[in-house]
Amino acid sequence: MRFDAVVVAGGSGARAGGPKQWRALAGRPVLWWSVEALAVAGARRIVVVHPTGEAERVRTLIARPVLLAEGGASRFASVKAGVAALDDDPPDAILVHDAARPGLTVSVVADLLANLDGAEAALPVLPTSDTLKRSDDGAWLTGPAPERSRLFRAQTPQAFHWTVFRRALEAWRADDDPTDDIAIVEAVGARVRMTAGGARLMKLTYPEDFAMLEALLAPRASVRVGSGFDAHRFGEGDHVWLCGVRVPHDAGLIGHSDADVGLHALTDALLGAIAAGDIGDHFPPSDPRWKGAASDRFLRHALDLVKAARGRVVQIDVTLICERPRIKPFRDAMKSRLSEILELPLNAVSVKATTTETMGFTGRGEGMAAQALATIELFE
C-alpha cells in the first residue's frame, strides 16, 4: 500500500518550556526521529508542517528530502495544509503524526497499514492501566468513575485511507478544533480499528518527559560495521574513475565495469554491514549488462538493500591506495559525489589516500587498491 505521511511540528510547546520539535533528544532533533522512522518504514512522501518562518530550520535539521507546509492557526488548519501538499499525487493511505511523539517504530507503522485492510482508519492505543477517578473541580472526587477497561489512550500516527480522510476533512467545521484526527473521520461514521501503541510513543509534554524518552530511545537501533577491499590493474587509457569522479591520468584501470576501486570497496563495505554477500554476487562480471557500467549503480543498489533491511548509513571512510594519480586535488569532489549517492551529510563522508612507499603492486604502479569502512544503523 502506497502511503504518505504528514508530521505536524507546528506547536509552540507551552508546557514543555519552548518549542520542543527542534530540541535535541538522544543526540538528534525531536523532529528528526519521526521523519527517520517514517522514511525507514517506507513512506513515499513526508510532509513536515512547520511554524511560519521555520522552513529553513527544518531543511537544516532534516537531511532527507521532505515536503514542507506552513502550519495554520489551529492544529486542524495545520493538518489540512499538510494534506493539501499531497493532493497533486494522492497516495492510497495517509498517516498523520505528531512530531512530539519521536518514539515511533517501524513495527507500529506496519501494524497500522496492515489494519487498514478492512477498516477506514486505524490508530495506536494504550490500555488504561491506572484506575480512573472523576473530579469536577480538581480537588474532590465527584464519582462515579468511568470503567477503565473500555477506555484507551490514543496515540499517533493515525492512519487513514486517503479518500476517506480527504472527504472527512472537507466535511469538518473549520472553526471546531478536533483533539485528534480520528475524531474527523468518526464524525462521518468511519470504522476505526485500534492497534497496539507503545510506551515509547509517549507525547513529550512536560520538561521531565525528555529524560524519560531519551532512556527509551537509546537502544532502538543496532550498529553494524562493514569493510570492503578492491584492486584493479592499470592499462591503456587517459583517465581513471575514483569514488565516482573522473580523474585524468596517463593510464586507465582495467575492469569489467568502470573499475572504480573506491566505489567497489564501498559497495562491499555496505553489503558486508548487512551480511548480504559481495559485489560479485549482485553484479557478476560474467553478466554483459555490467560491461563498462558506471559503478554508482552498484553503490546505489547496496544502499537500497540497506534501506530494505530497515537500516541507514551513518558514516563511511574510504582509503585510496596508489602512488599516482594524486588524489588530493579531487578529494572534495569525491566527497560530494559520495554524499550525494549515499544521501549523507558531508561530515559523515571521509576520503583518504595513501601510497605504499613504492612497495608492492601499488608501489610499482601495476594497479591501485581501495579499502572502505561503513557504519550502519539497523532499526527495530
Residue (of 286, 287, 299) closest to 341 by Cα position: 299
Q: Give the separation between CA 189 and CA 119, rounded to whole angstroms.
A: 12
Asked whether position 36 contacts Mg ion by CB under 5 A, the answer is: no
Closer residue to Mg ion (CB): 137 or 236: 236
- Give CA separation, 105 vs 222, 264, 375, in Å: 14, 33, 21
Shortest distance, position 230 Cβ to Mg ion, whole Å: 4
Shortest distance, position 303 Cβ to Mg ion, whole Å: 18
Provide the angle, in degrees to the nearest 10, between the axes of the packed helices 75-84 and 162-171. Answer: 130
Half-sphere exposure at residue 182, Cβ-oriented, CA atoms within 13 angstroms: 18
> CB under 5 A: which stretch of 94-102, 188-196, 260-268, 331-339 binds Mg ion?
260-268
Residue 258, amino acid: D
Closer residue to Mg ion (CB): 94 or 368: 368
- How do strand 93-98 and strand 158-161 relate by DSSP bridges? antiparallel
The answer to whether the beta carbons of residues 216 and 200 sit under 8 Å apart is yes
Shortest distance, position 308 Cβ to Mg ion, whole Å: 23
Q: Pattern of binders to Mg ion over 199-218, x per CB under 5 A?
A: --------------------
Closer residue to Mg ion (CB): 11 or 262: 262
Closer residue to Mg ion (CB): 181 or 260: 260
Among 264, 310, 331, 337, binds Mg ion (CB under 5 A): 264
Minimal CB distance to Mg ion: which residue? 264
Residue (of 342, 376, 375, 372) closest to 231 by Cα position: 372
Shortest distance, position 358 Cβ to Mg ion, whole Å: 23
> CB under 5 A: which stretch of 19-27, 176-184, 262-270, 286-294 binds Mg ion?
262-270
Among 4, 181, 230, 377, binds Mg ion (CB under 5 A): 230
Q: Give the separation between CA 257 and CA 208, rounded to whole angstroms.
A: 56
Shortest distance, position 167 Cβ to Mg ion, whole Å: 55
Phi, psi of 73 (to 5 degrees): -70, -25
Give the three-state DSSP class for 60: helix
Closer residue to Mg ion (CB): 213 or 299: 299
- Give CA separation, 208 vs 12, 205, 236, in Å: 17, 8, 66
Shortest distance, position 293 Cβ to Mg ion, whole Å: 11
> CB under 5 A: which stretch of 46-54, 88-96, 155-163, 224-232 binds Mg ion?
224-232
Closer residue to Mg ion (CB): 221 or 261: 261
DSSP secondary structure letters along 139-154: SS---PPPPGGG-EEE
59-98 residues in contact with Mg ion (CB under 5 A) are none
Q: How open is the CA angle 234-239-241, to the nearest 5 degrees?
A: 85
Shortest distance, position 313 Cβ to Mg ion, whole Å: 20
Shortest distance, position 268 Cβ to Mg ion, whole Å: 9
Closer residue to Mg ion (CB): 181 or 230: 230
Q: Which residues in this chain contact Mg ion in the complex, by CB under 5 A?
A: 230, 264
